[in-house]
Amino acid sequence: MTAPRVAVAGVHGHGASHVRNVARLAEAGRARLVAVADPQPASDLPAGVQVYGGLDELLASIGVDVVIISTPIQTHLPLAELAMRAGADVLLEKPPTASLAEFEQLSAVVAETGRACQVGFQAQASAATLTLAEMVAEGRLGELRGISAVGKWVRKAQYFQRARWAGRRTLDGVAVVDGAVTNPLAHSTAAALLLDGSPGADDVRSVETELFRANPIESDDTSTVRVVTGRGTRILIAVTLCAPEHLEPSVIVHGSEGRAVLRYASDTLELPDGTVTKYAREDLLENLLAHRADPAVPLYCPLSATGGFTKVVEAVRVAEAPAEIPDALVRWEGEGLERRPIVLDVEKWVDRASDELALFSELGAPWSIGQSRES
* Phi then psi dihedrals of residue 88, to 5 deg: -100, 150
pLDDT band at 369 (very low <50, low <70, confident <90, very high): low
Average the pLDDT over 251-255 and give the result.
98
- Express each pLDDT in 256-307 by its tens digit: 999 999 999 999 999 999 999 999 999 999 999 999 999 999 999 999 999 9
- State the chain's mean pLDDT as an integer: 96
Confidence of residue 372 (pLDDT cuts 50, 70, 90): very low
**Cα→Cα distances 204→103, 213, 273, 366, Å:** 15, 26, 31, 30
Tell me, rounded to whole angstroms, the distance of Cα 52 from its chain centroid. Answer: 27
Higher pLDDT pick, 369 / 233: 233
Q: What percentage of the chain exceeds 90 in pLDDT?
A: 96
Task: Indicate the pairing of strand 250-255 with strand 144-152.
Answer: antiparallel
Integer Cα distance of 76 and 82 in angstroms: 10
- Please say if the pLDDT value at position 371 is more than 60: no
pLDDT tens sequence across 20-60: 999 999 999 999 999 999 999 888 899 999 999 999 999 99
Categorize the per-residue pLDDT at 84 as very low, low, confident or very high, splitting at 50, 70 and 90. very high
Quick: pLDDT tens for 128-163.
Answer: 999 999 999 999 999 999 999 999 999 999 999 999
DSSP conformational letter for 268: E
Over residues 338-355, mean pLDDT = 98
Do residues 264 and 123 lie in contact, with contact meaning Cβ atoms separated by under 8 Å?
yes
Mean pLDDT score, 224-252: 98
Least confident stretch, 42-46, 47-51, 326-330, 356-360: 42-46
Q: Which of 2, 37, 1, 4 is nearest to 285 (CA)?
A: 4
DSSP secondary structure string for all residues of 176-201:
---STTTTTTHHHHHHHHHHTT--SG
Tell me the CA distances in angstroms from 126 to 5, 123, 195, 274, one per residue in order: 26, 5, 12, 20
pLDDT at 42: 86
Contacts of 104 (CB under 8 A, 6+ apart): none
Please report the DSSP string for 43-72 in residue order. Answer: -SPPTT-EEESSHHHHHHHS--SEEEE-S-
Does the pLDDT value for residue 333 go beyond 80?
yes
